[in-house]
Amino acid sequence: MGGALNQLPIGLSIGAVLLLIALGLTFTFGQMGVINMAHGEFIMAGAYTAYLLQDVGFPIALPAAFLVAGLMGLALERVAIRHFYGRPLDTLLLTWGVSLVLQQAARDLFGAPNVQVVSPGWLRGSVGVLPYNRLFIMLLAALSVVAIWAYLNRSAPGRRMRAVMQNRGLAATTGIDTGRVDGLTFFIGSGLAGVAGVALTLIGPVGPTLGTYYIVDAFLVVVAGGLGQLKGAVLAAAGLGLLNSYAEFWTNASLAKVIVFVAIIGFLQFRPQGLFVLRSRALT
C-alpha cells in the first residue's frame, strides 16, 4: 500500500513537468497554429544548461535555462517558422528536421551517453512519502502557472498576446505588431520548456533524446486540455501524470503507454475539443 502512495508524488511531479512543456506548446499552437516538433529539444537544452551550471548553483540554472531555451525558440521563429505561417505541414517537417539537428548537436557537444546532474543538497530528503525534489517541481510548475496567468490577464503584452490569439487580423489593424507578439510568445513558450528541462535533471539523467520522451505526452496534454487553455492544461497534465505513473506501477512501462493512449482516445470521443474550448477564429 505504501508503494501505491509513493506513486502519487511521482505522478504529480511528472504531470507538473508535462504542464510546463504543454504551456509552451499550447500557446504557440493556439496563437500561430504552429506544431513545433523541436519543442522537445528546448527541454533538452534547458537540462544541459543545468548540467553545465551545476557548480554555479541551481538558482542560477533556472533563469539561465529559461533564457537559453527561450532564445533558441525565438531564433527558430525568426529565422524559419515565420516564413511558413499558414503551411502547417511544411512547418511540421521543418521543425522535425531542426529537432534532429539539435539532437545531433547535443551528441557532438556532450557525447551520446547520458549525464547526471548532481541535485543540490537542499533538495535531498523528504517529508513522508513526498521527496523534496518532487515537491520542488510541483511548486515550480504552480509558480509558472500563476506567472503565466498574471502575464496573460494583468499585463499589456499579455493582453496583446490574447488579442492576437483571438483575432489575428483584427489585432494587426488595431495597431498591434503581430510579428513581435509571435516572437515573444515563442520566447516564453520555449523558455518554459527549458525550465521543464531543469526540473527533469532533478529526477533523472540527461541525454540528447531527453525531449522525445516527454513531447508526445505533452502534446496529449494540449489536446486533452483544449488549445490555449490554462485551466484545461493544468487538469489534463495532472491527470495524465497520475494515469501514467499508476498504470506503470500496476502493469509495466509499455502497457502503461497503451493504457494512456486508449484513455485519451476514449476521452476525445466524447470531448473532441478537450476539457475547455477557446472559441476563436484564429484556430478554425
Using CB under 8 A as the binding rule, whether residue 279 contacts other proteins is answered as yes
| 228 close to 280: Cβ distance less than 8 angstroms | yes
Using CB under 8 A as the binding rule, whether residue 231 contacts other proteins is answered as no
DSSP 130: E
Using CB under 8 A as the binding rule, whether residue 170 contacts other proteins is answered as yes
* Owner of C-alpha cell 539537428: 101
Q: Could you tell me which stretch among 52-60, 128-136, 164-172, 239-247 binds other proteins (CB under 8 A)?
A: 164-172
Using CB under 8 A as the binding rule, whether residue 159 contacts other proteins is answered as yes
Q: Could you tell me which stretch among 61-69, 104-112, 172-180, 211-219 binds other proteins (CB under 8 A)?
A: 172-180
- Residue 22 C-alpha cell reads as 504543454
Using CB under 8 A as the binding rule, whether residue 140 contacts other proteins is answered as no
Residue among 124 and 281 whose Cβ is closer to other proteins = 281
- Residue 217 C-alpha cell reads as 505526452
Could you tell me which of 102, 124, 126 has the C-alpha nearest to residue 194? 102
Using CB under 8 A as the binding rule, whether residue 162 contacts other proteins is answered as yes
Using CB under 8 A as the binding rule, whether residue 172 contacts other proteins is answered as yes
Q: Residues 6 or more apart from 274 whose CB is under 8 A from it?
A: 223, 224, 225, 226, 227, 229, 232, 236, 268
| 188 close to 42: Cβ distance less than 8 angstroms | no
Least CB distance to other proteins at residue 283 (A): 12
SS3 274: coil
Least CB distance to other proteins at residue 176 (A): 5
Number of residues that bind other proteins (CB under 8 A): 21
Interacting residue ranges for other proteins, rule: CB under 8 A: 156, 159-160, 162-163, 166-167, 169-179, 278-280
